Amino acid sequence: DPTDPLPSQTDGPIETEPPIIPTIEEDEVKSTKIGVIIIKDRAMERYYGNEKNLKAYGERLNKLAASLPSGTQLYSMVVPTAVELFAPDKYHSGYSSQKDCIEIINDTLKPDIKRVNAYDKLLQNRDKYIYFRTDHHWTGLGAYYAYVAHCESAGWTPVRLDQMEHYTLEGTYLGSLYRATKEDVLKNNPDTTEGWKPLVDSYKATAWDKGDMASSYQTRLNDERIVGDYSYLNYSGGDRALLKIVTSHASGRKILVVKDSFGNAFVPYLANHYDEIYVVDPRYYKRSLKTLVSENDIGEVMILNYMFGTSNSTWLKRFDAIAE
């Protein structure tokens, strides 16, 4: 029933052959001095993995899993960046292969941590507008396919795109990679921003921007008033200490998402399913994750990071401080 916002149970995903990244010629690539490459009208950050750091990231999640209350389900989602899907082989080979680097993390994780395979879902849909061309983030559509991957990990049927209200923000915007490079080819081909509103009767979203949690305010998801160069903030706002979303569902499910900025576009889709959603950015939140989970009877925790975040010293240092 498309009017029913609660997911049905499934027997799990159907196994399919992983898609192949098509060959892209090296002579199409323009390099910059700041680690950004440009192919046609798309800018992308170059990635280099480090096995020690990748394994250390996995061990952090193992440590967190051991500290959480018994029965808490931990999920790990590591999001690849555009260079993995849209650049020539040399930019995603060896320790630049984000597929291999994600596998190093996954191989480090204890078996009871569920690995959310956003990688294959994004690769299967690489012909769609899943990453911005002038910004390092994924789009609302890219985040949707990661949500589908989460539903597969959880054993649910995802809400379809055509079941949700679609919107496109007015105007265009130029993102972080344009601001870093100032390349005319990006300026002349700005991004547009679209989203899908979750299938939920009602919700209340409360935000705490600062780690002292001294003040809060009501906010909204998928805010069509946020346009222009700040349009990525439309999905669930910016990076902040805590966002708490209480929906009209009565499923008994609650989830905590510990994330970097890629999580901001992903979070609204969780309102299709969960009664309560807690969203923490370790760079701003200063309290114990274990306490947050225990005091609010949260049954699921997701650590969502994009590939660069798995070795970002600031994010990891703050994560360590609240994961004790």
pLDDT at 47: 97
**Which tokens in the block code for residue 263?**
């999580």
Three-class secondary structure of residue 33 per DSSP: coil
Q: For residues 83 and 123, what is the distance between their CA atoms, to the nearest angstrom?
A: 12
pLDDT at 19: 67
pLDDT in tens, 282-302: 999 999 999 999 999 999 999
pLDDT in tens, 232-273: 999 999 999 999 999 999 999 999 999 999 999 999 999 999
pLDDT in tens, 92-135: 999 999 999 999 999 999 999 999 999 999 999 999 999 999 99
Global pTM reads 0.93
pLDDT at 10: 35
Q: In which band, very low, low, confident or very high, does the pLDDT at 73 lie, cut at 50, 70 and 90?
A: very high
Q: Is the pLDDT at 11 greater than 70, yes or no? A: no
pLDDT at 16: 53
Task: Give buried/exposed letters for 102-135 (b at 16+ CB in 10 A, else e).
Answer: bebbbebbeeebbbbbbbbbbbebbeeebbbbbb
Which stretches does DSSP call E strand in 153-293? 165-168, 194-197, 203-208, 217-219, 242-247, 254-259, 276-280
Q: For residues 301 and 96, what is the distance between their CA atoms, to the nearest angstrom?
A: 28
Q: What percent of the chain has pLDDT over 70?
A: 94
Write down the mean pLDDT value for the chain.
93
pLDDT in tens, 197-216: 999 999 999 999 999 999 99
Q: For residues 280 and 278, what is the distance between their CA atoms, to the nearest angstrom?
A: 7
